[in-house]
Chain A
Amino acid sequence: KITIRFQAIGGAPPILVKVFKISRNQKFSVLNKFLHKRVYSNRGNRSSPEPEGRKQLFLYLHNSFAPNGDEVLGNLFSLFKVGDELIVSYCLNVAFG
């Protein structure tokens, strides 16, 4: 298993628990689905504005690029980890074009 740390950027709502363990064999797209539930649930209780239009999330590594959804987390971890964590930033809009 590997450790993932989520980081809200560009005004995205923070999540309570930021660090998760996940199997190395999972694909990067799994993180989007996983985070989607957490970011877009209980939004009514928060002060941040409701998302407009499609509820999208954009995930980045090293605040610079988005791997393809089918890239394997274990592979990304071996190349892009910081310390012993893969840091994934998320944003409600495209942050790095």
Chain B
Amino acid sequence: MSCTNLQHKAERASFSPLPSTTNESMSDTKSLITRNIWESFVKVEITLDIPHMVHETYYGTLHRNSYLPLQFSKLYEYFKYCLDETHLSNFDQWWIEHDLIPLKWHLPIGLIYDICLPQRTGTWHLSLRVDKFPADSIIPYQNLEHGTEIWTKAVENIWLNQIKESCFVQCGSAKPIMSLSKEDSTAFWEAVTAHNLDGYKAIEKKITPSLSNIRNIPLKLYIQQANDVIDIEEDIEVIQAPVSPFQSSGASQTMFSALASVIPELFPRHDPPRYTFAVPSIHAAIIPEDAILAELYSVGSYLDGFLHILIEGEKTIDRREEGGEIN
């Protein structure tokens, strides 16, 4: 079954090992994978470098299924002793850089990591910047909040709109989420900030239609050009298209059948289905050709309600296999 395949691939891609599944039901396996994805993290080294003032590094981990600005309070506590008044009040100027590229904070951390580090492993070397916010390339935190609240509010706004968009793709309307009670809406967002899977799933369940009622699977495909340095703006093409959970024949939509219909030039039809020019991955694991898309969605969607899938061409795949030697 496709889920078990995903699990093997996930293990290979260095997710925490899963216990033996021989006697477990499918749904236990699924919830284990879901929890492993939710709990998985990346190692970071975040350096704050202000000439004549501070050169200090934070070592830690970030959840893949979270957002950069939600980590800023932690960084603020760590770095505040060495910052002056200006930096400690201009919270709208905080941003993160990797290899001289400002990171798009509105995307989930795991997705940015997988784009920045094609080898999908190792410590992520980042720089914290506290001035000269690059408003041309990343979204300003645009709101009237004061203090460190500005970061969480900005993420909440982006996250909520993405969840609504995802809801619309699935249901053909954003009604399910817009008619949640005030308590449920608050609990949903709090589960995101507290990184609480059970709290998150409890509300997600209420806005997700049953399989037979899903119109389309919320999907974003990131086609990565094979360059040496990846610039999220320049080198990634993002494709979204209506993809039903079922093929026109009535069979379940698989990863391969979906890609073959959305990007046929990269995924020419092949019998049996086989990737030729490019390979899709999510959460640093390659997705098998026969993975059933609706199942993949229920275990592998990010916390913004989308399956963010990276598509890498041949050159990148070759390089990845030698990846260990590059750094």
Contact = CB atoms under 8 A, between A and B. Distances in A.
A binds B: yes
B269 interface: no
Contacts of A9: none
A17 interface: no
A78 B168 CA distance: 13
A88 B241 CA distance: 19
Contacts of B104: 70
A69 interface: yes
A76 B168 contact: no
Q: Name which of A64, A69, A72 has the most chain B CB atoms within 10 A of its CB.
A: A64
Contact of B164 (A64, A78, A79): A64
B242 A69 contact: no
Interface in B112-158: 139, 142, 158
B225 to A, nearest CB: 15
B173 interface: yes
A72 B161 CA distance: 16
Tell me what chain A mostly uses at the interface: helix, strand, loop, or mixed: loop
Contacts of A69: 139
A67 interface: yes
A62 interface: yes
A40 interface: no
Interface size classification for chain B: 20 to 34
B238 A67 contact: no
A69 B233 CA distance: 12
Nearest to B142: A56
B34 interface: no
Given A70-B104, A79-B216, A80-B168, A65 B174 contact: yes
A64 B178 contact: yes
A10 B160 CA distance: 20
B67 to A, nearest CB: 13
A26 interface: no
A71 B165 CA distance: 11
Chain A interface size band reads 10 to 19
A72 B142 CA distance: 21
A23 to B, nearest CB: 15
Closest 9 A/B residue pairs (Cβ): A65-B164, A75-B240, A64-B174, A66-B161, A65-B161, A65-B165, A78-B241, A65-B174, A79-B242
Interface of B: 104, 106, 139, 142, 158, 160-162, 164-165, 168-169, 173-174, 178, 216, 238-242
B2 to A, nearest CB: 25
Q: Which of A56, A65, A66, A72 has the most CB of B within 10 A?
A: A65
Contacts of B239: 72, 75
In this complex, the member of B106, B142, B168, B242 whose beta carbon has the largest number of chain A beta carbons within 10 angstroms is B168
B163 to A, nearest CB: 8
Interface string A51-65: 000001000011011
A68 interface: yes
B242 A72 contact: no
Contacts of A64: 164, 168, 173-174, 178
Given A70-B104, A79-B216, A65 B168 contact: yes
B139 A68 contact: yes
Given A68-B139, A72-B239, 10 more contacts: A64-B168, A64-B173, A65-B164, A65-B174, A68-B158, A69-B139, A75-B238, A78-B240, A79-B240, A79-B241
Contact of A62 (B106, B142, B174, B241): B174
